[in-house]
Every structure is written in C-alpha cells, then in structure tokens.
Amino acid sequence: MKPWILLVLFVSLGILGLASLSSGSLANAEGEGALRDLYVSERPSIPVFPQGEWLWARSPEALGWSSDKLAKAQDFAEQIGSAAVMIIDDGVVIDAWGDISRNYACHSMRKSLLSALYGIYVAEGAINLSATLADLRIDDNVPLTGIEKTATVIDLLRARSGIYIPAAGESADMMAMRPERGSHAPGTFWYYNNWDFNALGTIFDQETGEPSIYDAFQTRIAAPIGMQDFRPNELSYSYEDSSIHPYYGFSMSTRDLARFGLLFLRGGQWESQQVVPNDWVKESTASYSERGPDSGYGYMWWTGTGSGLFPNVTVPSHSYYASGFGGHRVVILPYRNLVIVHRVDTMGSEETVPENEFGALLWLILDASGETDIGEPPFMDQASGIRLNSEELLSAISGNTLHMTDGSPVSAAVTQDRVLHMMVDGVVVMTGSWYVVHDMLYADVPGTDISGHYSAFLDEETISLYEPNGMLSVRFVIEQGLPEGL
C-alpha cells in the first residue's frame, strides 16, 4: 500500500490532526500564505512525504522540541543575516523563518543537485564512471595534456581530477588556491575545483542526450518529489572566455530544497518511487577525501562527523550537506532524521553567513530538538571557566603556543615581543601581530579572517576566544613555551 494511502487512513483514525490555518498564523514563514493545511499532534509512526503542501507540527513540543529555544535560534538567525530557514524532522516541518517560497541562487549547491542526477543516469548505463576524459573526447580552450586526459568521471565527482586550469564561475579564492598545473596526477589529490564540476555538466549533457541539466532535473527529480517553485525555463548556462565548459547555475526555494534534502534522507525514495538509487545516495555522500579532522568530501557533497561537520557544533555520527557561497546549505543529519535548509540573500545584498556562525545556529537548533551531545555552548554568556583580564590574558598566552582543540594541525605561536605566528603542522604559514588592551586580545594577520578582537575565557588549560557579538571564535589548548627557533 502506498504511504500516502496509509496517511489518509491515519487521518481517518484521528492520529493526525487536520486544520486550515489562517495566513495570520504564518508570521514566521512568509510566502507560505495559508498553506499549513495539515498538522500533526504527535510524531508520525510511518514515513511521511509532503504532497501538495508540507505537513507541519501543530506545535514544536508535539515532536519533542522547545518553542522557547527555537525562538532563540530564530533571533540568532536574524542577527547573523539569514534570509530563510526551514527545519524538517521525520518529514514534518517543525519551524520555518523567512520567505521559504522565494527562489534564491543556489551557487555551489548546484553541484550536489547534479550529483543526484548522475546517480540516476549511471544506474541506467548512460554514464560510465570509469570513462576517461580521453574516452569522452573532453578538452578545453587550454588544451589538456595526455596525463590530464586520463582523469575519469569519478575523479571529477570527487574533485580529484588533477586538472588545474581556468574555469567558469571561479571565485578569487579558488583562483588563488589553484595548485600548479601538473603538480598532482589524476585521482591523487583533492582540490575544490570548478573545472571538474563544470566539465561534469558538459559530460552529462553529452552522454545523456538531455536538452539540459535543468530539463533533466525537472523531469527526473523536481516533478517526482513535487517541487513547488522550481522554474527550469528561467535558468540558463553561463559561458566565459576562459573555458568551453559552462557554469550551470540553479535557483531554488527553501521549501523545494527541503524536499531534495528529505529525498536523500529517505535513501532516494519518494513514497513508492525510487527517484535516486539508494546505493548512489550512500556512495555519493560517503567521504573520499579528508579536508580536516572528521571532515570530508564525497561526490560533490560535504561530509563530517563529531566537530568536523561545522565549527561550534558536534554531531555524533556521519552527516552531510550541500553548500553554496554566502551560507546556502542543505544539511542532512541521518542519525536524527533531520533536514535543515539555510538561505542567504546573496544576490540582493552583501550578506554572508560563514561556517562558524552557521555552526552556532545549528547548535541552537539541535539544542531546541532536545539533543545533548552537541558540544559546549558556543556563546560567551554560557562560557566555562573564568574571564581573563588584561594581566591574566598576557600571562596565559605570552611566550606560549596555542593548539586548536578540534584536532586541526593549525596552531599559533604567541611571542613576548607581540608577534603572532600561525602554523600548520608546526610550519609557519602566516605572521601578524597581537596585543592586549581593556581585557581584550587584538590580533592582526593581514589577508585573513583571523584579525579581530576577542574576549578570553580560561578553563584549566583551554582558552576560548569570543567575538564582540558573544559568539565563540576558536578554542585553543595552551602549551607552555614556543617551538624551537621562535
């Protein structure tokens, strides 16, 4: 029996409460109109999927959440510049803020959308993951070398092609970090590479014969899962002189991305239809490259566990997310059956939400869900230890080495003559200055986001630095003394 038929039976038995709510009750979800036509008074005992509209919790408490703590999360989201947030627990909307029906630019979340399409066409035999670029006759304005043409489709999906040439849609940071051409053989080194992602678009169109990625997405994913706002006819490829492989930008609403996230949470299945192969969901969201402690990269999905998913929050087991410039994210937490979508108005403003701020927001959301294994609160008003005054701060750090507590190879050597050496695996990579005034630590490392001023709390040998807005910036363990030579 189809799940939606079971849902109707549950309704008739009175397990689900149904009501039409006025638009005045939707102040927290602009753009929904009077769309909360269905609500649940307890956690459903079967998997539920949104039909025409989403199923909402009658109250957060009905599914074990705290309204008060969600209000704190919403306040923080507004403070950091979030445009829209949607929280889905077991297929039910717990809460939503902002205009969840507005189509925002997806930026690099486009890559996870394409990854899902690849899973469908690989299973059908249209795309061969072992095919090389030579096999597929893929080249570019800057001709590929023989070695570069040995890169396979799966190398590109993992961002391990070893091809380091200009690409459409590259940010200045991507250009600056691009490795030297020929420095790594295909398959041996991970580098977040727009060339790989754009070439995958070309390969998809060539091998599938579809009119475009957008048409294929509409037919194979958006329509089957009932996306409400996706408009493929309004999307087009963007070409640049640097490469023949275009940038395939997407725009999508928060509530449609929530459907996409729920599709992956449910193993690629939507009601009785297997939209994306279950094996592909597992394979594509596994980690094949280590980006840092407990952080990885799959087939155009970001992965993590413990404190490696985002700064300022801990998750107990493997989770993954799609990520786009400025703070656009679709986060899937399988251990908790949660999908969290976060949007930023990156086209209408210069607002961005960096990872540490989003991690703090995720901590607040998980705290509201009743989760306890989420790490220490990343806020100064809940800080452990004692707040250091100027004299105590100088005594704690001057002439010592600070090691990040998350297992990262990054450390800081704080010399007594006010020089700050940032190190990776003990090797100095950047140098700046530091000083203490009015009980605040001031750091200045040109060209980085390390520069700023911080309040410091000391708890045994751990020092926590908080930004002026009260949010945790970083935690270090203090090691007495400096590395030899400093």
Residues 6+ apart with CB under 8 A from 396: 388, 456, 458, 463, 478
Q: Which of 348, 369, 390 is the endpoint of a domain?
A: 369
pTM: 0.89
Q: Is the pLDDT of residue 178 over 80?
A: yes
Residue of 360, 365, 389, 353 lying closest to 376 (CA atoms) = 360
How does residue 11 score in pLDDT terms, banded at 50, 70 and 90? very low
Q: Is the pLDDT of residue 408 over 90?
A: no
Q: Are residue 194 and residue 332 in the same domain, yes or no?
A: yes
Q: Are residue 425 and residue 362 in the same domain, yes or no?
A: no
Residue of 65, 69, 60, 12 lying closest to 40 (CA atoms) = 60
Q: Give CA–CA dist 438/52, Å, rounded.
A: 57
Q: Are residue 284 and residue 146 in the same domain, yes or no?
A: yes
Q: Are residue 401 and residue 424 in the same domain, yes or no?
A: yes
Q: What is the DSSP letter of 144?
A: P
How does residue 448 score in pLDDT terms, banded at 50, 70 and 90? confident
Between residues 210 and 173, which one has the greater pLDDT? 210
CA 414 to chain centre: 32
Q: Is the pLDDT of residue 324 over 80?
A: yes
- pLDDT, tens only, 74-102: 999 999 999 999 999 999 999 999 999 99
Q: Are residue 361 and residue 433 in the same domain, yes or no?
A: no
Angle between helices 194-208 and 110-123 (to 10 degrees): 40
Q: Is the pLDDT of residue 133 over 90?
A: yes
The answer to the question of residue 8 being in a domain is no
- Predicted local distance difference test score (pLDDT) of residue 37: 56
The answer to the question of residue 128 being in a domain is yes
How does residue 39 score in pLDDT terms, banded at 50, 70 and 90? confident
The answer to the question of residue 136 being in a domain is yes
The answer to the question of residue 26 being in a domain is no
Q: Is the pLDDT of residue 258 over 50?
A: yes
Q: Residue 132 in 3-state DSSP?
A: strand
Residue of 67, 65, 32 lying closest to 50 (CA atoms) = 32
Q: Give CA–CA dist 91/162, Å, rounded.
A: 40
For 361, the token pair is 């927001």
Q: Where are the alpha helices (DSSP H) in 160-245?
A: 172-177, 194-208, 213-217
For 118, the token pair is 């690849």
Q: Are residue 256 and residue 399 in the same domain, yes or no?
A: no
Report the C-alpha dihedral over residues 205, 209, 213, 214, rounded to 10 degrees: 150
Q: Is the pLDDT of residue 6 over 80?
A: no
Q: How many domains in the chain? A: 2
Q: Are residue 254 and residue 395 in the same domain, yes or no?
A: no
Q: Which of 349, 369, 389 is the endpoint of a domain?
A: 369
Q: Are residue 443 and residue 410 in the same domain, yes or no?
A: yes
Residues 6+ apart with CB under 8 A from 1: none
The answer to the question of residue 93 being in a domain is no
Q: Where are the alpha helices (DSSP H) in 293-370?
A: 355-369
Residue of 225, 205, 222 lying closest to 213 (CA atoms) = 205
Query: Cα–Cα distances in Å, from 263 out to 26, 101, 272?
Result: 25, 18, 12
Q: Is the pLDDT of residue 19 over 60?
A: no
Q: Which long-range contacts (CB under 8 A, 24 or more apart) does 178-185 make?
A: 182/145, 182/147, 185/147
Beta strands in 352-439 (DSSP E): 386-387, 400-404, 410-414, 419-424, 427-437
The mean per-residue pLDDT over the stretch 400-421 comes to: 92
Q: Which of 369, 401, 431 is the endpoint of a domain?
A: 369
What average pLDDT does the structure give for the chain? 91
Question: What burial class does residue 187 get, using C-beta atoms within 10 Å of its C-beta: 0-12 exposed, 13-18 middle, 19+ buried?
Answer: middle
β pairing state of 427-437 and 472-479: unpaired
Q: Give CA–CA dist 65/152, Å, rounded.
A: 46
Q: Give CA–CA dist 110/105, Å, rounded.
A: 9
Report the C-alpha dihedral over residues 325, 328, 334, 339, rounded to 10 degrees: -170
Query: Cα–Cα distances in Å, from 181 out to 157, 186, 196, 289?
Result: 19, 11, 14, 20
Q: Are residue 314 and residue 269 in the same domain, yes or no?
A: yes
CATH classification of the domain holding 296: 3.40.710.10
Q: Residue 197 in 3-state DSSP?
A: helix
- Predicted local distance difference test score (pLDDT) of residue 158: 98
Q: Are residue 126 and residue 202 in the same domain, yes or no?
A: yes
The mean per-residue pLDDT over the stretch 308-327 comes to: 96
Q: Is the pLDDT of residue 30 over 80?
A: no
Is there a contact between 114 and 248 (Cβ–Cβ < 8 Å)?
yes
Q: Give CA–CA dist 180/376, Å, rounded.
A: 40
For residue 215, the tally of other CB atoms under 10 A from its CB is: 14
CA angle 485, 436, 361 (to 5 degrees): 100
Q: Are residue 312 and residue 175 in the same domain, yes or no?
A: yes
The answer to the question of residue 12 being in a domain is no
Q: Give CA–CA dist 71/112, Å, rounded.
A: 30
How does residue 25 score in pLDDT terms, banded at 50, 70 and 90? very low
CATH classification of the domain holding 464: 2.40.128.20
The answer to the question of residue 346 being in a domain is yes
Is there a contact between 155 and 187 (Cβ–Cβ < 8 Å)?
yes
Range of the domain at 279: 103-369
The answer to the question of residue 246 being in a domain is yes
Q: Give CA–CA dist 400/419, Å, rounded.
A: 11
Q: Are residue 227 and residue 296 in the same domain, yes or no?
A: yes
How does residue 447 score in pLDDT terms, banded at 50, 70 and 90? confident
How does residue 139 score in pLDDT terms, banded at 50, 70 and 90? very high
Is there a contact between 183 and 161 (Cβ–Cβ < 8 Å)?
no
The mean per-residue pLDDT over the stretch 419-426 comes to: 93
- Predicted local distance difference test score (pLDDT) of residue 36: 54
Q: Is the pLDDT of residue 147 over 80?
A: yes
